[in-house]
Chain A
Amino acid sequence: MGSFFLKALGSLFTPMNILFVVLGTGSGIVVGALPGLTATMAIALLVPFTFAMSPIHGLVLLGGIYCGAIFGGSFSAILINTPGTPSAIATTFDGYAMAKKGDSYKAIVTATIASVIGGLIGVLFLLFLSPPLSKASLKFGPPEFFWLTVFGLTIIATLASKSILKGLIGGAFGLLVSSIGIAPIEGSVRFTFGSVSLQGGVGLIPALIGIFCIPEVIGMIEKKDTHYSVIPYRTQKKVVMNVVLKLLKRPVLIIRSAIIGTIVGIIPGAGGNIASMVSYNEAVRASRYPEKFGRGIIDGVAASEASNNAEVSGSMIPLLTLGIPGAPPAAVLLGALLLQGMRPGVDLFTIHGHVTYTFILSLILSNILMLPMGIYSGKLVSRMITNIPIPFLAPFILFLTFIGSYSIERNMFDVYTMIFFGLVGYIGRKAGFGPGPIVLGLILGNICEQGLVQSILMGKASGSLLGMFFTRPISIILIILTVVSAGWPVIRKYTGGRKKYAKRR
């Protein structure tokens, strides 16, 4: 490893490679900031172009885009309450609340610093712990995936800020909607209302854009006072220094979120969206002031962003060592590797070791570059967005939602889906149902169903259905975590946090 490492260092710091890292990270941030344009889409669009490049140039460019896009998603999450990428869902909870208070720049700086630190921790994991961690991911079978999603659903207690009952209803509704389309086992065509477009299921990203963005736009229109400022932008001094000092006082928060992000990234099928929500939930549970979450606190932004950027490297651990992508963008990266004639596995760390380590080190550079890019562009974008008049901003955001939902599959049906879920989100908001639980159900539904049905089949084949669900070691750990996570609000209510919890409800 040592000789490859030194060679890779020398290879990375050539003008062309640095240029590709800068280009990749910069364009990734732009793509990520535009709602609906995902890292997967950006990488997929560029993979064909990298064929003509050298393997190092191509991979360095794509790695930069991946890192930049996941970070860029926080911009629109903070400024217009619309996650630019699904990974930034949890960033909206506190990021937008901060923006509404005039602290949009502070939120972006927090997101930037947390993203950089989280990203760097993730790359260190990728560099040093790839082989042992990737072996653990192989032990995840259908029962473990089922329990993982059940554990994920306990986050509803955190997401449902006003009523747990309504949060549970939202989550169940999301799970039901996720079952639309062809069943994973036996192939029944379910709840498609006769539409061929629904056979592939409800598009997650159009639904996500609609449910988060449309209610927000209608909320802007609802305000009678349409003067020329959506949210007040406050010029503050020493924002960067203040945020750094605050984050330095919370090292556990960032490190814990980065570790969660890396672990979730390693598990195939669980993406940055799950990573950021799990981290957010853990941040709330571990906090001494849980009642402040959701009202605009830097801890919430930092937890989400540190986690989703660490997930980038986490998703590459099983990709590079086993050829199993941990997340959709990593799956596209696998295509880029194969296009260059590089097969994941031992060869990548021996025959192509020079290329692989240059790629990994370029992720470090990309993460470091996000710091100046985020801090300087954050101020500019904050000022720009917050000073656009509502009569122009509201229809323009609608235009972006149209572009975002259409661009994924170049399909008008996705635009109709986005509008439908937007209206569901708006009416739901009026009736006291938050968007978070619905989206969580939508994300986890497919994995949950597949895990449940496959586990039942496995249990029947082995002759012990209960044994399949309740005796496997990782399942037991996940069940314990689920019980603790679901019971935590109750425990908190009756031990010390009674007043705080009551306030939060």
Chain B
Amino acid sequence: MRNADRISFLIIAGICVYFWFESLSFTRFGYLFPRVIISILGFLAILLFALSFFKKEKIRIFEGDNISYPVILLCILLVIAWAFLIKLLGFAVTSVLFISVMNVLLDKKNRSIRAITIKVVTTGVFVGAFYLFFSKLLLVSFPRGVLF
């Protein structure tokens, strides 16, 4: 089943059920607003599900479009790893590392040693400039890791 509307219904229904059960422990004025919204959301999701059987034009999720989803998934995983490694390696080092890796990954035409060196140096200069601007001028202290 790749029908976007029916998958959406299942996800929204799951959210509604979870949030409703969570709301059982709240005080009266704590659950009033969320429960009203959950009821509306649930009703709209059921409507979406019901209408999906009558729709002529069906949206199929993550299918077609000639898109390489493995590359997209890899990029998403890299972004998540980037965020979680910041505390360990430091903001500047992680940023240079991941921007360079993504740059090389996405630029299939230029993967020579020279091109990669240029990419890493350019990235270093950009990240360094932004890092200094924010940390020294705007006094935003970024996380420092084991290296920097």
Contact = CB atoms under 8 A, between A and B. Distances in A.
A402 B106 contact: no
Interface stretch (A217-225, A281-289, A327-335): A217-225
Contacts of A222: 65, 67-68, 72
Contacts of B68: 222, 224
A410 B141 contact: yes
Interface string A151-179: 00000000000000110110011011001
Contacts of A141: none
Contact of B106 (A165, A190, A226): A226
B82 A402 contact: yes
B95 A165 contact: no
A218 B33 contact: no
B93 interface: no
A176 B38 contact: yes
Contact of A176 (B37, B80, B102, B104): B37
B12 A173 contact: yes
Given A402-B83, A449-B33, A45 B139 contact: yes
A452 B75 contact: no
A452 B143 contact: no
B134 A407 contact: yes
Nearest to B98: A395
Contacts of A427: 61
B125 to A, nearest CB: 12
Given A391-B107, A395-B99, A449-B33, A430 B141 contact: no
A452 B44 CA distance: 21
A456 B28 CA distance: 12
B27 interface: yes
Contact of B48 (A37, A166, A185, A395): A166
A224 B72 CA distance: 11
Contact of B95 (A169, A402, A423): A402
Nearest to A441: B37
A88 B41 CA distance: 28
A399 B95 contact: yes
A191 interface: yes
Given A169-B12, A176-B37, A395 B103 contact: yes
Interface in A438-494: 448-449, 452-453, 456-457
SS class, residues of chain A in contact with chain B: helix
Given A188-B27, A391-B102, A165 B44 contact: yes
Contacts of A391: 102-107
Contacts of A173: 12, 15, 41
Interface string B34-51: 100110110011011001
A40 to B, nearest CB: 13
Given A169-B12, A188-B31, A399-B130, A179 B107 contact: no
A403 interface: yes
Interface in B58-105: 59, 61-62, 65-68, 71-72, 75-76, 79-80, 82-83, 86-87, 91, 95, 98-99, 102-105
A412 interface: yes
Nearest to B141: A410
A176 B19 contact: yes
B148 interface: no
Contacts of A389: 107
A155 to B, nearest CB: 17
B131 to A, nearest CB: 9
Given A183-B29, A412-B83, A431 B103 contact: no
SS class, residues of chain B in contact with chain A: helix
A70 interface: no
Interface in B104-139: 104-108, 119, 122-123, 126-127, 130, 134, 138-139
A416 interface: yes
A402 B80 CA distance: 11
Contacts of B34: 176, 179, 190-191
A406 interface: yes
Contact of A403 (B29, B41, B130): B130
Interface in A273-322: none
A419 B83 contact: yes
Given A395-B99, A431-B8, A190 B143 contact: no
A172 B66 CA distance: 32
A427 B80 CA distance: 16
Contacts of B44: 165, 168-169, 172
A171 B44 CA distance: 11
A399 B123 CA distance: 11
A432 B139 CA distance: 41
A402 to B, nearest CB: 7
A423 B139 contact: no
B29 A186 contact: yes
B57 to A, nearest CB: 11
A397 to B, nearest CB: 10
A390 interface: yes
Contacts of A423: 76
A392 B133 CA distance: 20
Contacts of B17: none
Contacts of A399: 95, 99, 126-127, 130
B122 A412 contact: no
A416 B27 CA distance: 29
8 contacts: A168-B44, A169-B12, A224-B68, A392-B99, A392-B123, A402-B86, A407-B140, A449-B33
Given A395-B102, A398-B102, A412-B86, 5 more contacts: A392-B119, A398-B82, A399-B130, A406-B91, A431-B59
Interface of A: 37, 45, 165-166, 168-169, 172-173, 175-176, 179, 183, 185-188, 190-191, 214, 218, 221-222, 224, 226, 389-392, 394-396, 398-399, 402-403, 406-407, 410, 412, 415-416, 419, 423, 427, 430-433, 448-449, 452-453, 456-457
